[in-house]
Structures are given as structure tokens and as C-alpha cells.
Amino acid sequence: MKTNDVILQTATKVVLFIIVLFSIHIFFAGHYTPGGGFVGGLLTSGAIVLLLLAFDMKTVSKILPVNYIHMIAIGLLFSIGTGAGALLFNVPFLTHAFGHVELPVLGDTSLHTATLFDLGVFLVVVGVTMTIIQTIGEDE
């Protein structure tokens, strides 16, 4: 008998975006308030897991055609690249830089290379969590 998950699926459609927004908030706010790449990444993958629970694996991979193992690699590249970029400016590995930049839409924005590093962490965490859950889930 096939159950009808219409309430779950509808609720998911609503809640998903709230969770994703919250995780993005936590990620970006990490430098000033509790949060950061790690928790942000975990929350994003939490949102995807919710999607997995409400729908099935095939649908989710159609909605999000992402290879999570590539995601891990890209995340690591981001982190290491941020660190290695410092070498170009003749400062030690992983020396971060920050400054205020006038951007066209956002106006005066504080930019920090640590965010790029954190983005690497974020991507790796999402990739790792999703790889683990997906592999175990697909396993018979």
C-alpha cells in the first residue's frame, strides 16, 4: 500500500526554505555571532535530509543534481586555496585579509577572506554528510 505523504511533502516545501535561509544566515553571521561554516553546513544538509525523507532518493537527485564527493573536493580546494593565496602576497600560509569595499548594490561591505575559508568548510561538511547518508541509504 502506498501511503500519501501530502502533508509532509507540503510542509517540507515550506520549511525547507526557512531552514536553508537559517543555515545561510548562520554561515554568514559566524564571524560575529555563534555559527559558522560547520554548523551552517550541517543545517543545510539537514534541509536536504528532510527533502530525502519527504520524497525519495531519485527525486532529490533530480532536484539537486550534485555530486557530493565533488563537493568535498571543491570545499577542500577553497580552504587550501585561500590559505595558499596568502603566499602570493609574500605572507605566511593562511594569513587572512579583510577590508571595506564599496559594492554596486550592497554599498559599503566588510569583506574577509576568512569567509572563503569558511565556505570551504561549509561545502566539505555538506558534502561529507550527504555522502554518508546517501551511500548508507542506497545500500541494500
Partner 1 sequence: MSLLHLAIISPFLLAIVVPLAYKLFRQIHTGWFILPLPILLFSYFISYLSITSNQQSVTKSFSWIPSLGIEFTAKVDGLGLLFSLLITGIGALVVLYSIYYLDKNKEQLNTFYVYLLLFMGAMLGVVLSDNLLVLYTFWEFTSFSSFLLIGYWYHREKSRYGAQKSMIITVFGGLSMLAGIILLYLMTGTFSITEIIAQSDEIFTNPLFVPALLCILLGAFTKSAQFPFHIWLPDAMEAPTPVSAYLHSATMVKAGIYLVARMSPVFAEHSLWLWLVAGFGIVTLFWGSFSAVKQTDLKAILAFSTVSQLGMIMSLLGIGAAALHFETVEDSYFTVATTAAVFHLINHATFKGSLFMVAGIVDHETGTRDIRKLGGLMNFMPITFTLAIIGTFAMAGLPPFNGFLSKEMFFTGMVRVLDMDIFNLDTWGFLFPVLAWVASVFTFIYSMVLVFKTFTGKFQPEKLEKKPHEAPIGMLISPIVLASLVIIIGFFPNIIANTLISPAQAAIMPPAEGYMYDAHIYFWHGFTPELFMTLGVITLGILLFATLPKWRKVYDMFPEKLALNRFYDGMLEVSQRASFNLTRLYMNGFIRTYLVYIFTFFIVALAATLFIKDAFKFDTSNVAPIHYAEVLLALGIAAASITILFVKSRMTSIILLGAVGYTVSLFFVIFRAPDLALTQLVIETISVSLFLLAFYHLPKLRHEERIRFKMTNALISVGVGAVVTMIALSAHSNKMFDSIAQYYVENTYKEAAGKNMVNVILVDFRGFDTMFEITVLGIAALGIFAMIKLRLEGGKKNENK
3-state helix, strand, coil in the chain (%, to 5): 70, 10, 25
CA–CA gap between residue 11 and residue 38 (Å, rounded): 26
CA–CA gap between residue 81 and residue 79 (Å, rounded): 5
Find the binding residues for partner 1 in span 61-120 (CB under 8 A): 68-69, 72-73, 75-76, 79-80, 83, 93-94, 96, 98, 110, 112, 114, 117-118, 120
**Binds partner 1 (CB under 8 A): choice among 3, 14, 32, 65:** 32
**Residue 53 binds to partner 1 (criterion: CB under 8 A):** no
CB-based contact 71:127 (threshold 8 Å): yes
Nearest distance from C-beta of residue 52 to partner 1, angstroms:
12
Q: Which of 85, 110, 105, 103 is nearest to 95 (CA)?
A: 85
Nearest distance from C-beta of residue 63 to partner 1, angstroms:
21
CB-based contact 98:14 (threshold 8 Å): no
Residues that bind partner 1 (CB under 8 A): 26, 30-39, 42-43, 46, 68-69, 72-73, 75-76, 79-80, 83, 93-94, 96, 98, 110, 112, 114, 117-118, 120-121, 124-125, 127-129, 131-132, 135-136, 139
